[in-house]
Amino acid sequence: VLFLAYFVLQVIYARRKYKISPPETTGHPEFERIFRAQVNCSEYFPIFLSLLWVAGIFFHQGVAAVCGLLYLYTRFKYFQGYTVAAQGRLGPLCASARLLWLLLGLAVAGLLAHFLLP
């Protein structure tokens, strides 16, 4: 949640810097990149939290926590890269996607083990 708050604050600062009033979402290219980075991170947050929660409960809390911290780090790097240049988001985007897939695998493995194994 602190990451999302940080991203929102960056949008607010960019709005002030480039004099873009809500509800406008276009204007200076730097503002648009910051805005899109924030929105993209917010869109994936419910998926991340759900997978983190299920993997932590049904697979292993420690493994899920490490994956969660790595995911947050990659999204932070994604945000930083995107605010500089649109191409700067690609490496961290791939890394965060791999971590989401890993969390999905852990969640499924944990659920299968919980419900199918004695």
Q: Which residues are catalytic?
A: 16, 89
| Residue 21: φ, ψ to 5° | -85, 145
The CB density around residue 44, as the number of other CB atoms within 10 Å, is 16
72: exposed, middle or buried (C-beta count within 10 Å: 0-12, 13-18, 19+)?
middle
* Look-up of token digits 């873009």: 20
